[in-house]
């Protein structure tokens, strides 16, 4: 190929880095992707605390991208915006989805393999398995740092040195995965909450394990008493509320889990339909074959030896065999509103822009979304063009504003006194007044106005995204 622009260096082959690569090469810009997994350090293979493979875009925690409903759910809206922007991550997720009710979940191995294949086979992508420890000795003019929350110590120190701002951290926990054939289906049953059929096409996507009150109370006692993994040096580090270990939730009150991941609503036990369960544990299909299921919302820091004992107290899981036990890992993010500009570039080192969870977004899709934006900004730079930020009325624009400006308050952006990771939510978008009548002039009941408002915000977002993509 001739007359190609200089290659962009992307550091990190996770969701954000993979998406950034795809946006670049889709526009004809060559990429050198640096991924440390698969490389060596001091003669030893490089690994992380959470990854199991060296595949690109490995899903280290859940296998779900959460709700796929673009009309009434902000993360579903983000899915749709990314699809319309040509996202590789969403395309591979759609191709390898598994039943998950109203959520978009996928076979984690096939998903990662699809992303890896798409990039490894692209003529404009060069994958280098090596650790990048600094940019100080590089003459790279266009770099996307997408090293994620598990950024190596050496590269973290470089960021700290050039940014002048301390990095922040929080904990994420991982839920266990169970072999399907070890689940007792004479006690458990398959059903999605409220029988909702999702993108995977199955209204019975989850396995449900019921508990009566005595079983629940004994389970809570075991959670609270079980030995936990502790990190004394990090005791000041908070957990992210969207990924709390279940035992931390239990510590907040004995009923907390019944109103969270163990809520019993919208489900009927066919083995005993006249008795309402006190609590229900749900398991979601984790691979296309249906041989593995993960425990939904059961992130844990229980020590491995205790996990099997405690979780086998759950009816239906008495003989559970675990393909993977839960765990805890530290996430790192930067003070993005202070140190990044509107194109995600480091103000003190503008050759480098940041993407993904390290920027202070939380969640798989949010991380990939910032990778998409970083890839598009880097593309514009490589081609000598200017790219405006996506409108703040879009989910993409709202996320960008959160990490580069602050948060939305009363219709205007205000700097955050304490920057914290954030999932996409409608509260980040400029608000609309809840409509009182529908398209036919019929009065909308008060309880339905919130949903109608969300739909209007989603329709506005997709229209404004369409206009932005036409000039991008």
**What DSSP line would sit under 139-188, residue for residue?**
--SSEEE--GGG--HHHHHHHHHHH-S--EEEEEEE--EEEGGGS-TTT-
pLDDT at position 239: 56
Q: For the chain, what is the mean pLDDT?
A: 87
pLDDT at position 248: 86
Q: Report the alpha-carbon distance of residue 302 to residue 299 in Å, rounded.
A: 9
Q: Report the alpha-carbon distance of residue 467 to residue 413 in Å, rounded.
A: 23
Q: What does pTM read for this prediction?
A: 0.77
Residue 462 has pLDDT above 90, yes or no: yes
User: Looking at 126-130, 172-176, 209-213, 236-240, which range is the least confident one?
Assistant: 236-240
Residue 168 has pLDDT above 80, yes or no: no
Residue 300 has pLDDT above 90, yes or no: no
Angle subtended by helix axes 364-382 and 395-404, to nearest 10: 80
Q: Report the alpha-carbon distance of residue 258 to residue 433 in Å, rounded.
A: 33
3 state SS of 198: coil
- Work out the number of other CB atoms within 10 angstroms of the CB of residue 112: 24
Q: What pLDDT, in 10s, does the model give residues 77-121?
A: 999 999 999 999 999 999 999 999 889 999 999 999 999 999 999
The answer to whether 104 and 198 are in contact (CB under 8 A) is yes
Q: What's the pLDDT band for 231 if we cut at 50, 70, 90?
A: low
The answer to whether 301 and 247 are in contact (CB under 8 A) is yes
Element (H or E) spanning 34, and its range? Answer: strand 31-34
Q: What pLDDT, in 10s, does the model give residues 332-363?
A: 788 888 889 999 999 988 999 999 988 988 88
User: Looking at 79-83, 208-212, 323-327, 359-363, which range is the least confident one?
Assistant: 323-327
Residue 373 has pLDDT above 80, yes or no: yes
Give the position of tokens 């099997």: 308
The answer to whether 14 and 356 are in contact (CB under 8 A) is yes
The conformational region for residue 187 under phi > 0 = left, psi -120 to 50 = alpha, else beta, is alpha
């Amino acid at each position: 190929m001739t007359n190609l622009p200089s290659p962009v260096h992307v550091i990190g082959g996770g969701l954000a880095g993979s998406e950034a690569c795809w946006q670049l090469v889709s526009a004809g810009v060559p990429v050198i992707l640096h991924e440390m997994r698969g490389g060596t350090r001091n003669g030893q293979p490089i690994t992380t605390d959470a990854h199991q493979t060296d595949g690109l875009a490995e899903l280290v925690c859940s296998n779900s991208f959460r709700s796929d409903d673009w009309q009434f759910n902000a993360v579903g809206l983000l899915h749709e915006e990314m699809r319309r922007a040509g996202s590789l991550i969403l395309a591979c997720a759609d191709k390898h989805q598994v039943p998950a009710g109203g959520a978009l979940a996928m076979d984690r191995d096939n998903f990662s393999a699809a992303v890896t294949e798409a990039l490894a086979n692209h003529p404009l992508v060069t994958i280098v398995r090596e650790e990048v420890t600094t940019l100080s000795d590089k003459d790279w003019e266009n770099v996307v740092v997408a090293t994620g929350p598990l950024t190596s110590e050496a590269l973290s120190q470089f960021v700290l040195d050039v940014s002048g701002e301390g990095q922040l951290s929080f904990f994420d926990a991982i839920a266990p995965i169970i072999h399907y054939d070890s689940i007792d289906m004479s006690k458990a049953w398959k059903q999605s909450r409220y029988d909702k059929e999702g993108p995977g096409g199955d209204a019975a996507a989850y396995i449900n394990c019921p508990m009566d009150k005595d079983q629940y109370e004994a389970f809570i006692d075991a959670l609270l008493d079980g030995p936990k993994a502790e990190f004394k040096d990090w005791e000041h580090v908070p957990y992210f509320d969207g990924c709390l270990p279940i035992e931390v939730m239990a510590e907040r009150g004995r009923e907390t889990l019944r109103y969270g991941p163990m809520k019993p609503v919208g489900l009927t036990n066919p083995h005993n339909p006249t008795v309402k369960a006190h609590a229900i544990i749900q398991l979601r299909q984790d691979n296309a074959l249906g041989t593995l299921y993960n425990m939904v919302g059961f992130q844990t820091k229980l020590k491995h030896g205790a996990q099997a004992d405690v979780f086998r107290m759950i009816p239906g899981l008495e003989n559970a065999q675990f393909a993977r036990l839960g765990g805890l890992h530290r996430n790192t993010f930067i003070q993005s509103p202070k140190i990044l500009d509107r194109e995600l570039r480091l103000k003190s080192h503008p050759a480098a822009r940041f993407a993904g969870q390290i920027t202070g977004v939380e969640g798989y899709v949010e991380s990939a979304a910032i990778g998409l934006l970083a890839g598009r900004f880097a593309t514009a730079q490589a081609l000598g063009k200017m790219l405006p930020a996506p409108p703040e009325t879009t989910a993409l624009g709202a996320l960008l504003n959160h990490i580069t400006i602050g948060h939305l308050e009363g219709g205007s952006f205000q700097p955050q006194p304490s920057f914290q990771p954030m999932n996409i939510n409608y509260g980040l978008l400029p608000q609309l007044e809840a409509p009182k009548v529908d398209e036919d002039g019929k009065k909308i009941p008060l309880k339905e106005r919130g949903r109608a408002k969300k739909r209007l915000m989603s329709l506005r977002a997709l229209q404004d995204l369409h206009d932005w993509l036409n000039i991008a």
